[in-house]
Amino acid sequence: MENKGLNKVGLIFENIDPKEVLTKAFKMTRDEIIQQVLDSGLKGRGGAGFPTGMKWKFTAAEKDPEKYIVCNADEGEPGTFKDREILDRVAYKVYGGMAIAGHTIGAKEGYVYLRGEYKFLLPKLMKELDDFHKMIDEIGYDFRIHYRMGSGAYICGEESALFESIEGFRGEPRNKPPYPTTSGVFCKPTSINNVETLVTVMMIIRDGAESYVRLGTKDSRGSKVFSISGDTPTPGIFELELGMTVQEFVKEFGDGDTKAVQVGGASGFCVPRKKFENTIIGFEGVPTGGSMKLFNSSRSMYNVLHNYLDFFTEESCGQCTPCRVGCQQLLKGVEKVKKGEVKSTYLNELVKLADTMKIASKCGLGQSVGNAFRTIVENFREEIIY
Partner 1 sequence: MYEVEDLVKNLSLKYGRSRRSLMPILQGIVEKHNYLTDEVMVEVAKALDISAAEVYGTASFYTFLDTQVRGKYVIRVCKTITCSMKGKGEIMQTIEEMLKIRPGETTPDRMFSLLETNCIGWCHKAPAMLINEMPYTELTSEKVVEILKSYMKTK
Residues that bind partner 1 (CB under 8 A): 75-81, 84, 115-120, 148-154, 165-172, 186, 227-231, 235-237, 266, 293, 299, 303-304, 307-308, 311, 314-315, 317
Give the DSSP per-residue string, 265-320: GGGSEEEEGGGTTT-BBSTTSB--SSEEEEEETTS-HHHHHHHHHHHHHHH--S-S
**Which CB, 186 or 386, lies closer to partner 1?**
186
Cβ–Cβ under 8 Å, residues 71 and 193: yes
CA-to-CA separations, 325 to 165, 314, 330, in angstroms, rounded: 23, 11, 9
CB of 83 to partner 1, least distance (A): 8
Considering the complex, state which of residue 237 and residue 353 has its C-beta at the smaller distance from partner 1. Answer: 237
- Shortest separation between residue 116's beta carbon and partner 1, angstroms: 5
* Residue with smaller CB distance to partner 1, 97 or 150: 150
Cβ-proximal residues to 245 (8 Å cutoff; 6+ apart), any chain: 3, 276, 277, 278, 279, 280, 281, 285
H or E element in which residue 202 lies: helix 195-207
Q: Smallest gap, in angstroms, from Cβ of residue 172 to partner 1? A: 8
In whole angstroms, the minimum distance from the beta carbon of 333 to partner 1 comes to 19
- Shortest distance, CB of residue 166 to partner 1, whole angstroms? 7
Question: For partner 1, which is the closer residue by CB, 285 or 290?
Answer: 290
In the complex, least distance from residue 301 CB atom to partner 1, rounded to whole angstroms: 11
Taking the C-alpha atoms of 367, 376, 226 and 209 in order, what is their torsion angle to the nearest 10 degrees?
-50
By beta-carbon proximity to partner 1, the closer residue of 91 and 204 is: 91
Least CB distance from residue 13 to partner 1, whole Å?
A: 15
CB nearer to partner 1: pick between 51 and 116: 116
Nearer to partner 1, 231 or 248 (CB): 231
> How far lies 196's CA from each of 52, 73, 263, 281, 317, in Å?
12, 9, 18, 17, 26
Compute the distance between CA of residue 290 and CA of residue 99 in angstroms, rounded to an integer.
24
Q: State the number of CA atoms in the 13 A half-sphere of 41 facing the CB.
A: 18
166 within 8 A of 187, measured Cβ to Cβ: no
How far, in Å, CA of 215 to CA of 9, rounded?
Answer: 9
Closest residue by Cα to residue 146 from 95, 100, 194, 101: 95
Q: What's the min distance (Å) between Cβ of 37 and partner 1?
A: 28
Of 149 and 213, CB closest to partner 1? 149
